[in-house]
Structure 1
């Protein structure tokens, strides 16, 4: 039997990479980099062998997808922000065995999922940026899970998270960390105004909404948060419609989860968006509060049922 030893919601803003470069932005994201490095250090101390990243920069239009190639290596330039991330090198091992187990468990739970172990598909920067600081020596194997889900129910993303928990606990001989790689509010500054919002949230409403959510996480108000997640994802401009967050909470027990979030990197702004690094204690769960496979959802696909 395996275990999930660490779970976290993390930032992947490309200004982290820019913060390494000489120039006016050098050092400006050091606190976020330090937070990611601390999560990597904790993973090493806990004996983690594989990191599973729910990547809100991997866009998919049908099914869920798991990139579990045996090895990843290359140079990455962001097609979204090539002036922030250009020719960033990466290399780390994958874990085809675990990736196939995760997909099998999800399919058995009724969540259509495909594992890709013989593929030329490279990871997106929601995986690559955090791994740069958590896994620069390739110590951990890495699996990337699609979390920019364009035609998917949040219910199914939560159930995918629970399937991942079950597969690791029941079938995997190893220790895993799971990371929801995405922001809180994700309303980018309007074109031409990005420099003015490099260190500001786009609106006071979004900042207050984000701060209230963080307070709820720290107070373990999970039933209330899970109930508001669909509207938060929509009205709060959640990155990737917050499917990464649904996956993370599904793995942790959904509204029955009882852990209190530990904020490592306090809330900060990046190009109008709200960011943080936070660790979620992994507590025993029996899955009774995982959302049902048949969603009582409106046409937006965002509404969630709260219990089985």
Structure 2
């Protein structure tokens, strides 16, 4: 029987992939703490010894279906169509987890959830996966899960439940990674930074978003995922969180949804990236209420 051995909310923004010299310049003499946070997160992953890492990718937007990437292996060189001058020549080489993806489709079909495994060798990679794989030096198998853009919160939770059940039916030890930011409103193209350290929260798009993000971080640290779910439609979806919050909600669905009381451990400072709010947080699975197999 497979099990979830850990989970994390993790930032993937392109600035973290730049040279240390560039990052320190942007940081007014100090590097982003999210970079050191990757090492802290990797230590957490090493301690629980997973076979597979599931990445809930807030950039892989799908329509009509939740998609589970069923490729066996991926390698190449990534260039971002969003900012090719800034994020380019990112080499990647990692194993997929096709068996787990197909288990996910089987569970989805049983439950009437619109989800499928997709094995398409020419399917483009997204940097919400590539950056996390490279920054965390992931050698484990990787299953990327998309973000279906015509979904409500409950649909993301259902997709996560499917993945959780697929993990239980497998023989895999799995770490879940929700790859994305909290508030995700970019600053304008001609915006002038308010604080000399680019990563400083004063440079997040609005004080209201900073306050909302900090409140959410406190709730996550207390394990109050039920409150986060309750507030999602009226608060976090409207801010909005990156990827409609689908990265976090799917991770949470796999961990028991509103019944989950796993307390988040903050592994980095809360930082700005082009107006968005970013943080790394780790969740131990000991107090995760897992739904029994159906």
Q: Note the C-alpha offset of 1:103.
A: 2.1
Counterpart for residue 270 of structure 2: 267
Consecutive unaligned residues in structure 2, runs of 5 or more: none
1:120 maps onto 2:119 in alignment:
no
Q: Among residues 177, 200, 203, which one is paired with 2:175 in the alignment? A: 177
**Scaled by the length of structure 1, what TM-score is found?**
0.86
RMSD: 2.0
CA distance in 2, matches of 1:256, 1:46: 23
CA distance in 2, matches of 1:92, 1:37: 19
Counterpart for residue 53 of structure 2: 51
Contact 2:10–2:178, Cα closer than 8 Å, also in 1: yes
Contact 2:16–2:32, Cα closer than 8 Å, also in 1: yes
Q: Among residues 240, 243, 249, which one is paired with 2:243 in the alignment? A: 240
Counterpart for residue 70 of structure 2: 68
CA distance in 1, matches of 2:152, 2:114: 12
1:287 maps onto 2:291 in alignment:
yes
Counterpart for residue 187 of structure 1: 185
CA distance in 2, matches of 1:109, 1:157: 14
- Per-residue CA deviation, residues 102-137 of structure 1 (Å, 9 max, x unaligned), is 2221232221112123422132000111111212xx
CA distance in 1, matches of 2:192, 2:178: 25
**Scaled by the length of structure 2, what TM-score is found?**
0.90
CA distance in 1, matches of 2:250, 2:170: 19
Q: Kindly tell me: are residues 18 and 107 of structure 1, through their superposed partners in 2, closer, same or farther at Cα, counting changes over 3 Å?
A: same
Consecutive unaligned residues in structure 1, runs of 5 or more: 289-308
Q: Note the C-alpha offset of 1:222.
A: 2.4
Q: Note the C-alpha offset of 1:9.
A: 0.6
Contact 1:266–1:276, Cα closer than 8 Å, also in 2: yes
Alignment of 1:241-256 (within 5 A): 241-256=244-259
Q: Note the C-alpha offset of 1:221.
A: 2.1
Q: Note the C-alpha offset of 1:224.
A: 1.7
